[in-house]
Amino acid sequence: MNQEQEGVIKYQLTHSHQSLPLDNSVTEINAWRTLMYRLQLIGQEEHRYGGYGFGNISQRLDNSEKFIISGTQTGSLPVLNNDNYCLITAAMPNLNQIHAAGVCKPSSEALTHASVYLQDKNIQGIIHVHCPEIWRNTLKLTLPHTTKTVAYGTPEMAEAVSQLFGLEKWQQGTIFSMLGHEDGVIAFGESLQHAANALIASLSLAIAIEQG
Reported as type and span, the H/E element at residue 198 is helix 192-211
What is the distance of C-alpha 29 from the center of its chain? Answer: 13
Q: Is residue 196 part of a domain?
A: yes
pLDDT of residue 6: 52
Q: How far is CA 20 from CA 50, 67, 111, 166, in A?
A: 31, 12, 20, 34
> Could you tell me if residue 1 is inside a domain?
no
Higher pLDDT, 122 or 167: 122
Indicate the number of domains in the chain. Answer: 1
Quick check: is 27 in a domain? yes
Question: Would 7 be classed as within a structural domain?
Answer: no
Residue 87, in any domain of the structure: yes
Residue 20 confidence (pLDDT) = 84
- Confidence at 3, pLDDT banded by 50, 70, 90: very low
Residue range of the domain that includes 148: 12-211
**Per residue in 14-48, pLDDT tens?**
999 998 876 678 999 999 999 999 999 999 998 88
Could you tell me if residue 5 is inside a domain?
no
Of 88, 98, 27, 85, residue with least CA distance to 61: 88
Mind listing the pLDDT tens digit for each residue in 71-123? 988 999 999 999 999 999 999 988 899 999 999 999 888 999 999 999 999 99
Domain assignment of residue 22, yes or no:
yes
Confidence at 132, pLDDT banded by 50, 70, 90? very high
The whole-angstrom separation of Cα 163 and Cα 159 is 6
CATH value at residue 43: 3.40.225.10
Instruction: Report if residue 132 sits inside a domain.
Output: yes
